[in-house]
Structure 1
């Protein structure tokens, strides 16, 4: 293979659909209305859902959570702790960047240590958004292990 070209694995639409369904199922259990966006490894949206009566703004917030999780390869919740260790300039400037979400509800999908996509969930409390996103991550992990 050419050393100037990088190969990157990415989530498939079929796997994204199953991940999204797991998040929806968890939201229904919690009796909340959310928006969900799944992006591929490059941050391109490949599947989304907006539950009836979910807040309109939750669509954009879910996308930003997914983009942040995919771009950095960490949970969006992890940013709270990370920012505490940064300079004042970074703490003030980073949250203002376009498509950044630095609060819970965004999770990367990892396979063999590499980001293959991410999910963003918004519309409920931060804790429940995280719970729904984690349900999707667990589903992806289980399906990848069994394949």
Structure 2
């Protein structure tokens, strides 16, 4: 008989808070004002920060980046390359889907090969957003391995 339920690990609020603070520290070091959102395995926001002077729209963009990263299990910065391998219909249609953010700043949290949540950062350049998101991931990996 096939299983009728599944069990999946998910990031905790404590890990989300610690990771978000690492991203905030990176943003401050870069002199950037950003929004940072952490989502659990189901894409539900569990922690968020909007820095002073960050653009208003960056809140929703950060959430979309996190949800895109958790949903597909890959960094949102990989989508430019990934879309080049797709049909023209997918290249044109996927970016138009509601809630999709197919540019840098979204990173999945991965534990033992399984996605357990994601972080999204928006408000600075794509490169800075990505650096801040990666700071959150690196900090989480240190804590999870510790």
Would you say same fold, with TM above 0.5?
yes
User: What residue number does 2:54 align with?
Assistant: 54
List per-residue Cα deviations over 1:25-71 (Å, max 9, x = no partner): 00000001000000001100000000001000000000000000000
Number of the residue aligned with 1:115: 115
TM-score by length of 2: 0.98
Q: SS of the counterpart of 2:144?
A: helix
Q: Which residue of 1 aligns with 2:68?
A: 68
TM-score after normalising by structure 1: 0.97
Partner in structure 2 of residue 39 of structure 1: 39
Matched residues in 2 for 1:133 and 1:53: separation?
19
Asked if 1:79 corresponds to 2:85, the answer is no
Tell me by how many angstroms 1:3 deviates.
1.4
Shift of 1:125: 0.3
Q: CA RMSD in A?
A: 0.7
Question: Residue in 1 aligned with 2:94?
Answer: 94
- Rounded to whole Å, the distance in 2 between the matches of 1:80 and 1:133 is 18
Alpha-carbon distance between aligned partners in 2 of 1:81 and 1:55, rounded to the nearest angstrom: 27
Once the two structures are superposed, residues 104-138 of structure 1 have per-residue CA deviations (whole angstroms, 9 ceiling, x without a partner) of: 00000000111100000000000000000000000
Separation in 1 of the partners of 2:24 and 2:62? Answer: 13
1:4, distance to aligned residue in structure 2 (A): 1.2
Cα distance in 2, alignment partners of residues 58 and 80 from structure 1: 20
Structure 1, unpaired ranges of 5+ = none
Distance in 2 of aligned mates of 1:132 and 1:100: 20
Q: How does 1:101-140 map to 2 (within 5 A)?
A: 101-140=101-140
Give the 4+ runs in structure 1 shifted more than 2 A.
none
